[in-house]
Structure 1
Amino acid sequence: MNSGSPVTPGGGGFIIFATFLVGLMLSQVPLPYMIEWARPEWVAMILIYWVMALPHRVGMGMAFCLGLFLDVIKGSVLGLNALSLTIIAFLTLLLHQRLRMFPLVQQAFMVMVLVGINQLLFHWMQAFTGYTGDSLIFLLPCLVSALFWPWLFVILRGIRRMFRIR
């Protein structure tokens, strides 16, 4: 056995779960009113990373469960986040081999597109439930998420390598 980095029992499922838990907590941290609309989509970005890095372990089922949990936490209509995150996981699964080859700047652009699709789907479905927005400011998180992507990618890759999650 190689000493130097810990071996995760169970293949790192707990670590993956813990990163999603941190993302859920970050999605609920109170922010000042002026920057509330600029909150990065932490859960979607962490989901994109794990689907891209480990498509055989994290997929659409995990995205659906995560979305249901996010719906309960945020108090939104049950299934809205679940459906939009499942679609994002599907698109990431389709593109994961290409995404892995892209440099971080191109990945950040693709994350901006994927999070933008997530935001559009969520707000489109909210319109069916009676909520209507007045402007396109709801798309601001996709830009902010793209700016945070390189750092999040490096952190999650470091965690994956440190705990040898495969």
Structure 2
Amino acid sequence: MTDAPAQGRSVVFASLLMALMLTIWPLPEAIAPFRPDWSALFLIYWIMALPHRFNVGTAWCVGLILDVLTGSLLGQHAIALAITGVLVAMSHLRVRVFPVWQQAMTVMVLLAVNELILILVEGATGQLYDLEWRWAPIVTGMLFWPWVLFFLRSLRRRFDVS
């Protein structure tokens, strides 16, 4: 561990804000079910890239903000993103060395775990709906992962985020 001060936190928080904005951005009804979970994708990247700076606490806070923005049960996305963050933090050393296609498959599994937790919470509270389209954001998230990876990696390198 280094004692160097963190650089570029504002870049990370700006990217997470962008992910939250993409999450609530209105889409046409035909493609809305295919919207990837941008918050989860961006958090997976930042926790994988800088686990000593951004971790489960960051995921919990982003999840609470996401709950407020979407009007869902308070803590629903927070617990799902926190558990996903724990899984990323536990496996980040292995996943970072994977080729991009294997990372995309791993991200698909992480997004599926995230979605399963959301389904369990909604089922427990009696708010479960649209089960036939719950797989769509998982698949689109996997397909968007290479672009998210390259975009955030270029941001991290350009602004020397550490």
TM-score (norm 2): 0.94
| 2: CA distance, partners of 1:161 / 1:56 | 17
Residue 22 of structure 1 pairs with residue 4 of structure 2: no
Runs of 4 or more consecutive aligned structure 1 residues displaced over 6 Å after TM superposition: none
Aligned length: 158
Residue pair 2:61, 2:78 contacting (<8 A) in 1 also: yes
Structure 2: gaps (5+ residues)? none
| Alignment match of 1:125 (pick from 108, 121, 144) | 121
Root mean square deviation, CA, Å: 1.2
Structure 1: gaps (5+ residues)? 1-8
Shift of 1:143: 0.4
Residue pair 1:120, 1:139 contacting (<8 A) in 2 also: no
TM-score (norm 1): 0.92
| Alignment match of 2:73 (pick from 69, 74, 77) | 77
| 2: CA distance, partners of 1:59 / 1:151 | 22
- Aligned runs of 1:14-163 on 2, under 5 Å? 14-133=10-129, 135-163=131-159
Relative to structure 2, which stretch is displaced further, 85-94 or 131-140?
Answer: 131-140
Shift of 1:135: 3.1
Identity %: 44
* Secondary structure in structure 1 of the residue aligned to 2:30: helix
Larger radius of gyration: 1
